[in-house]
Amino acid sequence: MSDNAFEIKVIARIRTDLTSKFGIPRQSGLVEELEGLIVFEPEYRAAEALRGIEEWSHLWLIWQFSENAGEWSPTVRPPRLGGNERVGVFATRSPFRPNSRGLSCVRLKGVEHTRDKGTVLRVAGADLMDGTPIFDIKPYLPLADCKPEASGGFTDTRKKRQVKVDIPDSLAGILPDDKLAALRALLAEDPRPAYQDDPERVYGFPYAGYEVKFRVEDGRAVVTGIIPE
């Protein structure tokens, strides 16, 4: 069998408002307000390849953890376990894997036809950084992919850390309403490393062309700055 049989190609890249790993939701679907645009590479901009896709409400994206560096680790420290307890990498969705591949379920919001980018897909609930390479797109099938009886491992027993969000009116007015709603949802998921809980520490991440600054105290994320990049 030739080496070409195992070649994997980038078919598209996603455009999102998050340009760094910090701040990205830890799973797809957690922040439905966060939208993304899937733009196909020139050689895959055949409109007929998307024929019928609008009939599906959700899609699977197979993609690359493109910002990971270093070798894979057989054990990892999931955020849900506080960042200190180790479990096997294949018992998690950690990005530190032998092949650095990600799998996300997103909601299809629309199919748009553009002059310069061909047909693009607008999706919601993505947990991908801006520019992430996508290897494949497949429809989500409720009859096969939904398993109500499934167990969730340690996620069933460990409570997810969430916080309330406080954005002063003087800062909230900087962002359009849709971007503001997505930012609130992102911060409510508490993007800090699980082992950090310093109320004096100010965190920051790029979002929608701005640098967002915040700190967390008594279960509340307080935005202290929204600064143009």
* CATH number of domain containing 60: 2.40.30.70
Q: Would 36 be classed as within a structural domain? A: yes
Task: Specify whether 10 is located in the same domain as 52.
Answer: yes
The residues, ordered by sequence, that sit 6+ positions from 78 with a Cβ below 8 Å of its Cβ are 85, 87, 92, 94, 154
pLDDT of residue 158 exceeding 70, the answer is yes
pLDDT in tens, 80-130: 787 778 999 999 988 888 888 999 999 999 999 999 999 999 999 999 999
pLDDT at 94: 86
Task: Give the length of the chain.
Answer: 229
Spatial distance between the Cα atoms of 27 and 124, rounded to a whole number of angstroms? 12
Task: Specify whether 177 is located in the same domain as 198.
Answer: yes
pLDDT at 196: 83
pLDDT at 95: 87
Task: Specify whether 53 is located in the same domain as 115.
Answer: yes
Whether the predicted model's global pTM rises above the 0.95 cut: no
pLDDT at 2: 52
Q: Would 32 be classed as within a structural domain? A: yes
Task: Specify whether 126 is located in the same domain as 164.
Answer: no
pLDDT of residue 51 exceeding 90, the answer is yes
Spatial distance between the Cα atoms of 1 and 170, rounded to a whole number of angstroms? 63
For the purposes of burial, counting CB atoms within 10 Å of the CB of 7, is it exposed (0-12), middle (13-18) or buried (19 or more)? exposed
Task: Specify whether 13 is located in the same domain as 115.
Answer: yes
pLDDT of residue 177 exceeding 90, the answer is yes
pLDDT in tens, 180-225: 999 999 999 999 987 888 999 999 999 999 999 999 999 999 999 9
Q: Would 84 be classed as within a structural domain? A: no
Task: Specify whether 50 is located in the same domain as 121.
Answer: yes
What CATH code is carried by the domain that includes residue 192?
3.30.2310.20
Position 160 confidence tier, pLDDT thresholds 50, 70, 90: confident
Cα–Cα separations (whole angstroms), residue 75 to 5, 11, 153, 210: 31, 31, 16, 35
More confident: 197 or 16: 16
Q: Which domain holds residue 42?
A: 3-65+100-150
Task: Specify whether 182 is located in the same domain as 104.
Answer: no
Side chain identity at 18, as an amino acid letter?
L
- What is the distance between the terminal CA atoms of the chain, rounded to a whole angstrom? 49
Q: Which two tokens stand for residue 6?
A: 């195992």
Task: Specify whether 14 is located in the same domain as 61.
Answer: yes
3-state secondary structure of 47: helix
Task: Specify whether 185 is located in the same domain as 104.
Answer: no
pLDDT at 163: 94
3-state secondary structure of 205: strand
CB 229 within 8 A of CB 211: yes
Q: Would 91 be classed as within a structural domain? A: no
Domain boundary among 81, 116, 150: 150
Of 197, 205, 208, 198, nearest to 223 by C-alpha is 205
CB 61 within 8 A of CB 158: no
Task: Specify whether 56 is located in the same domain as 111.
Answer: yes
pLDDT at 184: 97
pLDDT of residue 171 exceeding 80, the answer is yes
3-state secondary structure of 223: strand
Q: Would 165 be classed as within a structural domain? A: yes
For the purposes of burial, counting CB atoms within 10 Å of the CB of 218, is it exposed (0-12), middle (13-18) or buried (19 or more)? exposed
pLDDT at 116: 94
pLDDT of residue 1 exceeding 60, the answer is no
Q: What's the number of domains the chain is made of?
A: 2
Q: Would 75 be classed as within a structural domain? A: no
Spatial distance between the Cα atoms of 181 and 172, rounded to a whole number of angstroms? 10
Q: Would 85 be classed as within a structural domain? A: no
Task: Specify whether 55 is located in the same domain as 118.
Answer: yes
Q: Which two tokens stand for residue 156?
A: 């069933």
Mean pLDDT of the chain: 91
φ, ψ (nearest 5 deg) of residue 186:
-65, -45
pLDDT at 113: 94
Alpha helices in the chain (DSSP H): 142-145, 169-172, 177-188
Task: Specify whether 123 is located in the same domain as 216.
Answer: no
